[in-house]
Structure 1
Amino acid sequence: MVPYETLEILLAPFQRCHKAEPGPDVRLGIQNLQRTLRDHPDWMGAVAAQVGNLPPHGAGWVAVSLGVLVENGHPADPSGPCLLEFFEHLLARFPEISDDDEDYPPLDEAQQIWLDAIPNLARALVSHLARLPDRREDWATTESRMTRLEQLEGYSYAFSWVREAIQRHSAPLTVLHVESRQGYRVHYHNVANCFHLFSLLQCRLGTLLPGGRAPDEAVLAAALGGDGQVSDHGWWHYGWPQHTTPEPLFPIWGEGLTRHLPQVDGEALILLWPMTIQRSWDSGFFGPHLDALPANLTVEGTLSVDEVVETLRQLGG
């Protein structure tokens, strides 16, 4: 347990922090806080629990300090839950937004100050969420939380960082090209949106499957987090395993989330067919690049023809 006097001394510079740009005393406070917590990592939870008692910018710099420690190998469990709980309370401080609102309601002075501090809090949350998959899953499956984050994105892009971090998902995936009886086992890492997944699949599988082509290096770079706006389009019809023929009006929708991909025996499975209706998308569907949760897709192995045929037989094809 942190001695109360020690906690007061550690947080004193942040109690006086009322500007987004840290002054010399706050910079010194950040160094002292990080040095102390490196020696006493079991104090991180107690420090995180005090974030809500600090002025907005002071809270932001304490959160950033905790995030840096987590990125450098300290456990996220002590401080992450406290920061998430505080962030959820903070979301409620902003105006309620109705679907009928044409413009975002104006913020009062206190709300605006907290909004200015949100980017630092969001950076810290992303660092923690990257190492707390159970917390990400809890938030991702709570519709009210996700709706609230989406509503507030119009006030600050930082809310989209948190929403993207929560929705990013990693899992094994089996891809079967039905007509050629070819199949691959892949693993996607930190991919939220199915259009993003489709671009990564196309770039990684390239010419290995009928209908494929050489990857567009600009698309691959953007899908892996690079700068620049690009557009992409589908090479195949991405079909549900429940459909034994391509259903043009019922593809796996690119706008959907990867965590909702169809499952067979507990693992995601996609059937590839020749293109039926052309779909295109841009790199806006790749979401913001998050250093703590970099997107990727790796090809893990090849299925034999017999394995593909047997899987399709079990599906009724």
Structure 2
Amino acid sequence: MAGENYTRMVEFILIGFSDVPKLQGFLFTIFLIMYVNILIGNGLIIAITKTDPALQTPMYFFLGNFSFLEICYTSVILPKLLTNLWSHNKNITLLACAVQLFSFLILATTECFLLSVMAYDRYVAICKPLNYPVIMNHKFCVQLVVASWISGIPVQIGQTYRIFSLSFCGSNIINHLFCDIPPLLKIACGDTSMTELSVYIVAVLFAMVSFVLIIWSYIKIITQILKLPSATGRYKAFSTCFSHVTVVSLFYGSIGIMYLRPKASHSEATDKVLSLFYTIVTPMFNPLIYSLRNKEVIAALRKLLLK
């Protein structure tokens, strides 16, 4: 009995898609294809933003960093999920679970900040075009990216510590695809209300503040676009923002549905499907979103592939 309790304290079991055993091989193939597409698609975006002279601008500098972030984001989740599907071994150690949660939180926070930075870049480009090269100089762009990556680290260290300071004495089974806060709180013992409160405060602090900054930027952008005299000018100005608006909508829309819907409508199966959108589906479609309507990206991709 003592040995069983000790095992429960040092490792968890990630259920994942164990409830559909006949689909394990099919799901492994699908997720492997998606992961390869994410690596190739985002890798190509990184390559062209680093090598093509026409893309050496702040917008594409941020896009390259965003693509690198997406690769890191999915690499925290998908390799373990693929291993679970292939080997049928669902175990994950307490330390590995903590590292996965911490990495996921840091990368999600970075994505929020980086999307805000990209919105600010579009705001300066459209609303202050004459001062754009001065304001968005390379040093400032690097500072914005570094700040996006490191700003959330101290807070998320505290978040991860609070979660894994809880006692998991009832069960070690996590009915989810990866170590996330809601499924971990479900299996924690004792009163978790203060931990849940801190989670919501941090979510508001990071996700909502960055979302408000994005909305503010686009209110200013739309106001400026409507002042343009020609329809062609308005279309051209808005087309530079279309890809970013689409990515923001997918990211915040899926997270909002996942975490802000009423508790009564929560189900573990639905949570798994929704989590796939912001951890796998959105990073897979981002390269397509940024390239389909962007002639500069398409031209750079053609040159790279011809080489």
Alignment TM-score > 0.5, same fold? no
The answer to which structure has the higher helix fraction is 2
Larger Rg computed on CA atoms: 1
User: Which TM-score applies when normalising by structure 1?
Assistant: 0.27
Higher relative contact order (CA 8 A, sep 6+): 2
User: Which TM-score applies when normalising by structure 2?
Assistant: 0.27
